[in-house]
């Protein structure tokens, strides 16, 4: 766990651990349930190091999880026609989001919305953050969507900041989905629904023209 992820996890972990210790000190065996929950929360907010060989023109996964959809979309930032690659994150997945390509954060936008369970189609309209990236391999947008439990996202980047492919963008609290949007023209998607991916490691697509 990194210092930044611990700062996010601390209220959740201590909120379970302290009542558990209090119950155990009073002789209540139910305290073990809270201690176990604190341990599970520590595991949930883990932030492992990721290293991979970067290849020009390759767009990498922004999140750990399972690809739940690859679908056409419209996006003004990407020039109109786009492709949306949706990753569903279960409670067992690392919830740190990473940049799919190298470039600069052209915009960081907080978007208000609902709080549907992340596995439902309508979760694409949940509240979250949208990160617009622009770099040598073209433009991309990353949408981090909160789920129905904690309903919070902590961004770790700012507008105008340079990022590397695989660099951490932020952390989604307790259940979510992450979408990567790319221009339809010149993009070859190389993942399919049902495929498991790892943030910053698994290739999602190739940009044929680098624009």
Would you list the DSSP string of 114-165? B---TTSGGGGGBSEEEEEEEETTEEEEEEEEE-SSS--EEE---TT-EE-T
Take residue 11 and report the two structure tokens written for it.
Answer: 């209220």
**Main-chain phi, psi angles of 154, to 5 degrees:** -110, 105
Q: pTM for the full model?
A: 0.83
Give catalytic residues, as residue numbers: 176
Instruction: Give the pLDDT score at 175.
Output: 65
Q: Which of 59-63, 88-92, 124-128, 161-165 has the lowest mean pLDDT?
A: 124-128
Element of type H or E holding 75: strand 65-75
Three-class DSSP category at 98 = strand
Average pLDDT for the chain: 86
- Kindly tell me if the per-residue pLDDT of 210 is higher than 70: no
Q: How far apart are CA 198 and CA 150, in angstroms?
A: 23
Q: What percent of the chain has pLDDT over 70?
A: 88
Q: Which of 26-35, 36-45, 180-189, 196-205 has the lowest mean pLDDT?
A: 36-45
State the average pLDDT over residues 126-155.
83
DSSP β-bridge partners for residue 83: 72, 182
Could you tell me which of 173, 167, 177, 122 has the C-alpha nearest to residue 144? 177
**CATH of region 58-207, choose from 3.90.1150.10, 3.60.60.10, 2.70.70.10, 3.40.50.12640:** 2.70.70.10
175-209 pLDDT, tens digit each? 678 999 999 999 999 999 999 999 999 999 998 75
Q: How far apart are CA 145 and CA 32, in angstroms?
A: 32
Could you tell me which of 208, 161, 157 has the C-alpha nearest to residue 182? 208
Q: Using alpha carbons only, how large is the chain's radius of gyration in Å?
A: 18
Could you tell me which of 144, 43, 141 has the C-alpha nearest to residue 87? 144
51-66 pLDDT, tens digit each? 877 888 999 999 999 9
Q: Rounded to the nearest 10 degrees, what angle do helices 31-44 and 3-25 cross at?
A: 170
Take residue 101 and report the two structure tokens written for it.
Answer: 């390509």
- Under a CB-based contact definition with an 8 Å cutoff, are residues 188 and 138 in contact? no
Could you tell me which of 202, 201, 67, 82 has the C-alpha nearest to residue 130? 82
Q: How far apart are CA 79 and CA 158, in angstroms?
A: 23
């Amino acid at each position: 766990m990194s210092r930044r992820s611990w700062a996010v996890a601390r209220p959740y972990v201590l909120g379970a651990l302290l009542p558990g210790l209090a119950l155990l000190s009073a002789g209540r065996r139910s305290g073990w349930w809270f201690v176990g929950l604190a341990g599970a929360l520590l595991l949930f907010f883990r932030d492992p190091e990721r290293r991979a060989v970067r290849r020009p023109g390759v767009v990498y996964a922004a999140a750990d999880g399972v690809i739940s959809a690859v679908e056409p979309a419209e996006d003004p930032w990407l020039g109109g026609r786009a492709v949306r690659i949706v990753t569903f994150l279960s409670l067992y997945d690392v919830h740190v989001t990473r940049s799919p390509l190298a470039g600069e954060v052209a915009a960081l936008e907080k978007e208000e919305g609902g709080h549907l369970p992340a596995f439902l189609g309508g979760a694409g309209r949940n509240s979250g953050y949208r990160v617009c990236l622009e770099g040598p391999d073209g433009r991309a947008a990353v949408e981090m969507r909160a789920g129905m439990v904690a309903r919070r996202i902590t961004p770790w980047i700012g507008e105008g900041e340079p990022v590397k492919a695989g660099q951490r963008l932020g952390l989604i609290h307790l259940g979510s989905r992450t979408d990567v949007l790319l221009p339809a023209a010149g993009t070859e998607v190389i993942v399919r629904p049902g495929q498991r991916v790892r943030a910053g490691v698994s290739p999602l697509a190739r940009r044929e023209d680098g624009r």
